[in-house]
Structure formats: structure tokens, C-alpha cells
């Protein structure tokens, strides 16, 4: 059964006697904030950061998560295609290199048929 208007007004008049006195709520808020600061100061810095992190993420709705992830993926894709890259250089397979340079033998012109190994010939220009 629905209460009548009169009954409601009687009830409200009775409850108005239970209202706190003037300034009660301001004192209550001041004390509450003071207690919060004291509690935060007593916690370590990482724990406080973690609390703030948690509280910030707890306020983000699932739809915003989806938008954020999509935006990050699109940014990464665009960056992949737009960032200039250097020309691809094929690296040659490493092979052992003989660094010993063998000088070309100096040709000598023998004046006579003296085939002794110690015989020395002429290395310069020959005129015929």
C-alpha cells in the first residue's frame, strides 16, 4: 500500500529532528582528508604508486581499453611503413683470403747460353 502524502510529510518532520548541527559535514570531510593523507604518508612510495595505478586503471572502462589498443596498433603499423630504412646490403659469405702477395718474377735476358743457376741476366729493355 502506498503511503499518503500526509504520512510522508509527518515522517519528514520527524526526521528533521535527527539532522546534524550546522558545520558537522565540513568537520567530517576535513577529518576524513586528514586521515587519508596520514595513511598515504605512512605507505612506501612504490606501494603508493601502485595504488594510484590501480585506481586509475580501475576507472577505465573496457571500451576505452579497446579504443586504446586499436590506436596503438594503427600507430605502430603506420610507423613501420613510413620510417625510412637503409638499402638492403647483401653480405658476402666470408671466405678465407690469402693476404700474402707473391711478386711477379723478374724476367732476365741471358746474353749467353750459360745455364748455371747463378748466372744473372739483364732485366731492362733489350734492343735488337
Which residues contact other proteins (rule: CB under 8 A)? 105-115, 119, 121-123, 125-128
Q: Are 91 and 108 in contact, with CB atoms under 8 Å apart?
A: no
Please state the closest distance from residue 85 (CB atom) to other proteins, in A: 50
User: Considering beta carbons, is residue 82 or 107 the nearer one to other proteins?
Assistant: 107
Comparison of 56 and 128: residue with beta carbon closer to other proteins: 128
Q: How far is the CB of 98 from other proteins (least distance, A)?
A: 22
Please say whether the beta carbons of 127 and 109 come within 8 A.
Answer: no
97: left (phi over 0), alpha (psi -120 to 50) or beta: beta
The CA-based angle 25-28-29, given to 5 degrees, is 90
Closer CB to other proteins, 96 or 105, in the complex: 105
Q: How far is the CB of 112 from other proteins (least distance, A)?
A: 5
Q: What is the DSSP letter of 16?
A: G
Q: How is 73-84 classified by DSSP, letter by letter?
A: HHHHHHHHHHS-
CB of 99 to other proteins, least distance (A): 24
Please identify, using beta-carbon distances, which residue of 5 and 115 lies nearer to other proteins.
115
Amino acid at each position: 500500500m502506498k503511503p499518503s502524502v500526509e504520512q510522508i510529510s509527518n515522517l519528514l518532520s520527524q526526521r528533521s529532528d535527527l539532522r546534524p548541527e550546522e558545520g558537522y559535514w565540513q568537520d567530517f570531510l576535513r577529518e576524513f582528508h586528514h586521515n587519508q593523507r596520514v595513511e598515504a604518508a605512512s605507505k612506501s612510495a612504490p606501494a603508493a604508486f601502485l595504488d594510484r595505478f590501480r585506481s586509475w586503471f580501475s576507472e577505465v572502462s573496457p571500451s576505452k581499453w579497446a579504443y586504446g589498443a586499436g590506436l596503438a596498433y594503427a600507430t605502430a603499423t603506420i610507423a613501420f611503413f613510413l620510417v625510412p630504412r637503409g638499402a638492403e646490403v647483401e653480405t658476402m659469405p666470408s671466405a678465407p683470403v690469402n693476404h700474402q702477395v707473391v711478386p711477379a718474377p723478374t724476367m732476365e735476358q741471358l746474353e749467353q747460353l750459360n745455364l748455371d743457376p747463378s748466372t744473372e741476366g739483364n732485366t731492362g729493355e733489350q734492343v735488337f
